[in-house]
Structure formats: C-alpha cells, structure tokens
Amino acid sequence: MLKTTLLLAFLPATLATYPGPSFATLFAQGQSPAQTHPRPRALPRSYGARADSLNGIPGHAFGEPRSNFPELEAKGDQDMDGYMYYYAKPGQELGWFGKNAAHVRTIYRFYQDKFTSFDASARGTDRPLLAEEAVYLFGKGQPQSSKSLAYGEAAINWEGKRVQVTLSDGHNECRLTVRSKLAIAQKAAVEVAQKKAEAAARAAKLRADNAPAAK
C-alpha cells in the first residue's frame, strides 16, 4: 500500500528499505543519488522552469519532425486522440532511458509528424528509478490534490508555460508524462478549424439541395 503522505507516495510500504535518501528529500532538494554531475536549480516559484527550458526530453525537443528519430520503429500506431505513437527499436533508445531500457518503457507521440509528447513507465521495484530521474530532469514538483486522483494514487506536477509534466504513481506503476502545451493548443485549433469547415460544407450542401429548381 502506498504511504499516505503525497511526497512519500512514490515509495510503497514494500519498498520502505530502498537504499538512499527518502523521496521527501529527493523532491525537496531536486536531487537523485544515482547522478553525480551538478544539476541546474529550478527558478523560484516556478515548478515548470526546467521543463520549459528543456522543452522535450534530453536529445529531442518538441516540434522536431519524425525524421529526427531514427531510433524509433518505422511503423507507428494511432491512439484514440489522433496522435501517432512509436516505440524505440530494441537497443536503440538513447541516453538515460536507453541505459535503463530494461526497467523503463518509453513511448513517443507525434501529431502531423511533429514530436508532441513523451511517456515513460516503470513497474514494481523499478518505480523509484523513474521517480528519481523525473526529479533530476525537472527539479522540485508540486503535489497534485488527491481529490482529483483515483484512490491509492499520487501525482507530482511541473506546470510551465510551454510544457506540462506529470509523474503519477499508483496500482504498482509509476508513469512520467511530458507534453507540449503549444502542440496541444495547435492540435485543438486545427480540429476546431476542421469542424467549422465541415459544418460550412454541410450547410452549403443543404442550401444547394433545397434551392428552387431552375425553370
């Protein structure tokens, strides 16, 4: 069972003896024991400062074309929201996620062939590994209200002007989601324009169908 305190929510009771500092310390200090090189400090009162600065993940920025991702499978699939998603080829994932590919699963999403979001997930005893990397990348996060979450879940948010990040933990899975807010807005604008165009076409057809026949 997960601990009830949000800042300790990523450390279930079964992992209480996990070596190293507590997760409360990790989120408070923005540090990971697995990393040895210096890391930038988050800007005051801005949980999303690092997320905006990175604007994607190490090695890839949001908005990059699909052709910039040779490490991904050639064929993707479309999800219910209209995004194309791809997995990394075996042994081809890059950076930290490549080194930890045996423990962390990744998904890359694209809209109109542009990189828009990234998901990483870990299960069981691998969950603290992903939580530590999230803190390393984005610094101290803001706990999400438990009222908006399912029972037994916890989440930390990093809300920037350009990027939205969520680290959620529950039901034996930890998931990191990094999304481009600009891409979300652009996608919504395209869909609104398409709906308006379709409505206008239907109205024009209706007028044409109901027009008096020429004598």
Mean pLDDT of 32-41: 51
State pTM to two decimals.
Answer: 0.70
Residue 60's contacts (CB-CB under 8 Å, 6 or more residues apart) are 68, 69, 115
99 within domain boundaries: yes
Name the H helices within 6-94: 23-29, 49-54
Higher pLDDT, 209 or 135: 135
pLDDT number for residue 207: 72
Query: Could you tell me if residue 191 is inside a domain?
Result: no
Q: Considering the chain, what is the average pLDDT of its residues?
A: 78
Kindly state whether residue 190 falls inside one of the protein's structural domains: no
| Maximum mean pLDDT: which of 43-47, 79-83, 85-89, 203-207 | 85-89
- CA 83, CA 100: separation in Å to the nearest integer? 25
More confident residue, 181 or 20: 181
- In this structure, of 2-16, 140-154, 198-212, the range with the lowest mean pLDDT score is 2-16
pLDDT confidence bin for 10, thresholds 50/70/90: very low
- H-type alpha helices, 42-110: 49-54, 95-99
Q: How many separate domains does the chain show? A: 1
76 belongs to a structural domain: yes
Mean pLDDT of 155-178: 92
State which residues form the domain around 27. 6-180
- Which tops the pLDDT comparison, 19 or 58? 58
User: Does residue 187 lie in a domain region?
Assistant: no
More confident residue, 203 or 182: 182
Q: Is the dihedral of CA 90, 95, 97, 102 positive or negative?
A: positive
Q: Which amino acid is at 62?
A: F
Contact 21, 33 (CB under 8 A): yes
Confidence (pLDDT) at 214: 67
